[in-house]
Amino acid sequence: MSHSETVNLDVLKVELDALGLNLFSVFSARMLATSVPGLSLPENTQSLLLIGNTGPLMWKLMPQRYFEQKHPVDQYATDCVTRMLSAKCSDQRWSLLFPNNTDVNVPLQTLGALAGWHCPSPLGIGINPRHGLWFAYRAVVAIDSEFDESDLTANDIAVSESESPCLSCPDKPCLSACPADAVSISTSPNMKACVAYRCEPQSSCASSCLARLACPIASEHRYTEEQIAFHYDRSLLSARQWVASPDYS
């Protein structure tokens, strides 16, 4: 029996959806060899699984015990994917490349663009017409199984760069909402200005991003306030370290 007959992508997607990991796409290793030069995959890898989440569902499903760990979101994603693949792909060789694997540099944004998950946005993060700015990458798996070509578009939010909702957004409220004036429609975000403002005392962007919150695209998928604060509080620690480092000057 061939590998492609032993792994059912629909089953994997259903299992992941139930865990809040509701974005899924698969690439052939042959395609990645030409599309992402320099990507180093484990020997015998035939396919790469890209797994993510949209909206607040995953956050709401995470058991409380994960929040007692150092990296709760990464650990939850790791446990879910490991448990699911161990049960559904027990006869396959696979390895988790992201998260928690420092041996492999996985270009998440590049893979996301190839999967059609996002278009560029003024904020420097991907945007999708269906899910807006409210999605994230959670796991990348290399697997020794080759899927049919029809399986290689196993996601339902694929878009092209020309379909970016930012192009047709008339008011672009993200620009005026940024108190640091760090967002532009024509250039990349001014990260120094963004970080400097976030590190100010009583900054209104310390635990959130006013520009991101102002985006009207798919606002119904916005993360919960608790979820937003969790991620931005952690990124603020990194921002303060950058400001204090010689690289910032």
pLDDT tens-digit series, residues 171-198: 999 999 999 999 998 899 999 999 999 9
Residues near 61 by beta carbon (within 8 Å), at least 6 away in sequence: 19, 20
CB contact at 8 A, 135 and 52: yes
Pick 90 or 211 by higher pLDDT.
Answer: 211
Q: Which of 131, 129, 139, 127 is nearest to 26 (CA)?
A: 139
pLDDT above 90 covers a percentage of the chain that reads 60
For 149-174, the pLDDT digits (tens) are 455 444 445 555 557 899 889 999 99
Cα gap 99→87, rounded to integer Å: 20
Spatial contact of 128 and 117, defined as CB atoms under 8 Å apart: yes
Q: Where are the domains of the chain?
A: 3-163, 169-248
Q: Which two tokens stand for residue 146?
A: 């080759």
> What CATH code would you report for 3-163?
3.40.109
pLDDT band (50, 70, 90) for residue 104: confident
The structure's pTM equals: 0.89
66 by Cβ neighbours in 10 Å (0-12 / 13-18 / 19+) ranks as middle
| Both structure tokens of 210 | 């006013």
Q: Which residues does 48 contact at the CB level (< 8 Å), separation at least 6?
A: 26, 27, 29, 32, 41, 97, 111, 140, 141, 142, 143
CB-based burial of residue 54 (10 Å sphere; 0-12 exposed, 13-18 middle, 19+ buried)? buried
* Residue 59 tokens, joined: 């956050």
> What is the signed CA dihedral for 79, 82, 87, 93, rounded to 10 degrees?
-170
**What local confidence, expressed as pLDDT, does residue 7 receive?**
64
